Amino acid sequence: MIRDFVRTRTSLGVKVAAHTLLAEYRIQRLHRSGVSKARRFVGQKQLKLNLGCGPNVKEGWVNIDLSRWADLHLDLREDLPFADESVALIYSEHFFEHLAYPDEVRHLLLESFRVLQPGGVFSVGVPDLEPQLVEYVRETADSNGLQPEDFARKRKARGEEEQNLWIPRWVFTTHLHIINWYFRQNNEHKYAYDFQTLATVLAEAGFDEIERRPFNPELDTEKRRAETLYVDAHKPA
């Protein structure tokens, strides 16, 4: 009865809002449970946090996410339940872009800065938008002697690469679809970065020694090697 009423008597906007509210309520419950479980880390030092881990959990780390694979289910838009200067390393791969800028991003960075010990490292990997924009300009300008059909073949081949098979096929029909996918990804992505932007945001939070780093096979995910911007930033000692 209630489902029928919601289906027939409410607008699409109300349905979306109700779905969002229910999702946020579930996240709140998971977060409160995670905060309680985080009490076991009280008094510990040299912690390593893997933020937004998804299935890429790391042994010896505190793997944090809202997914079933995590050690702690935390809403990373909220305060981190760790003591000041109790963490040696914070790592995040393809999660940072899921936070809204500026409020959610700044809050997580300030919390990360708080819990990191002096000299601690914030290591982040995000989709690298700069090469996508360069390729878009090349395609629209039809430069280097390439014809539109050449770019179409390149896009199709890119969509057939193993790491891209999970992406809808329509994304690779135009390069602006690809750009939009990087920016939005079905509304999951909230902001896009190049090195200059990411470095600026990190510096505003107090980090220094901000450097782009190469792919690290002992830390990073192989399937994300090609199209990821990896940056390390340090809390001043």
Question: What is the model's pLDDT at position 6?
Answer: 62
- In this predicted model, what pLDDT tens digit does every residue of 60-99 receive, in sequence order? 999 999 999 999 999 999 999 999 999 999 999 999 999 9
Kindly list the strands in the beta sheet with 208-212, ordered across the sheet, starting from the edge strand earlier in the chain: 72-73, 62-65, 47-51, 87-93, 116-127, 228-234, 208-212
135 versus 3: which is more confidently predicted? Answer: 135
- In this predicted model, what pLDDT tens digit does every residue of 14-64 receive, in sequence order? 888 888 999 999 999 999 999 999 999 999 999 999 999 999 999 999 999
Question: What is the model's pLDDT at position 143?
Answer: 59
pLDDT at 156 over 60: yes
Domain spans of the chain? Answer: 2-127+193-234, 130-183
**222 φ, ψ (degrees, to nearest 5):** -55, -45
Please state the length of the chain: 237
pLDDT at 7 over 90: no
Return the CATH class of domain 2-127+193-234: alpha beta
